[in-house]
Amino acid sequence: MMNPTLTDNAYEVVERIDRQKRGLKVAIMVFVLPALLCSASSAYFYIAYAHTKGGLSYNNIALVSLLALLCVVFLVFAGRKFVKFIELKNKLNSIETLEETIYKEVLHHAD
């Protein structure tokens, strides 16, 4: 049985960060953004429907406000996930830069 080296552990961390990055991208693109678009379009179509039926009553305004609040919640959730995605991307870029630097130094000393 081999003991994992520091390099093996570092590559494992990079792979884990990369998997998290892909998962966040999927969560943002597949779940949050379509839900936000559906909520916004539902509010628009409900306002258009209520307008054709004689205007907005207090109950209709409350429902549209609820839909708007739901849109804001989805937008905040998507924003937080997007910020986390950017942070993970920056971490991966710094690790890749470090890897390239180490690789160049090793090749330079090998010559």
Domain range annotation of the chain: 19-110
| Whether pLDDT at 28 is above 60 | yes
CA–chain centroid gap for 58, Å, is 36
Separation CA 45–CA 36 (nearest Å): 14
What is the pLDDT, as a whole number, of residue 3?
A: 65
| Whether pLDDT at 68 is above 50 | yes
**Does the pTM exceed 0.75?**
no
What is the pLDDT, as a whole number, of residue 1?
A: 44
| Whether pLDDT at 90 is above 80 | yes
CA distances from 95 to 20, 80, 88 (A): 15, 23, 11
Contact 71, 3 (CB under 8 A): no
What is the pLDDT, as a whole number, of residue 16?
A: 83
| Whether pLDDT at 111 is above 70 | no
The percentage of the chain sitting over the pLDDT mark of 70, rounded to a whole number, equals 90
- pLDDT-based confidence at 109, cuts 50/70/90? low
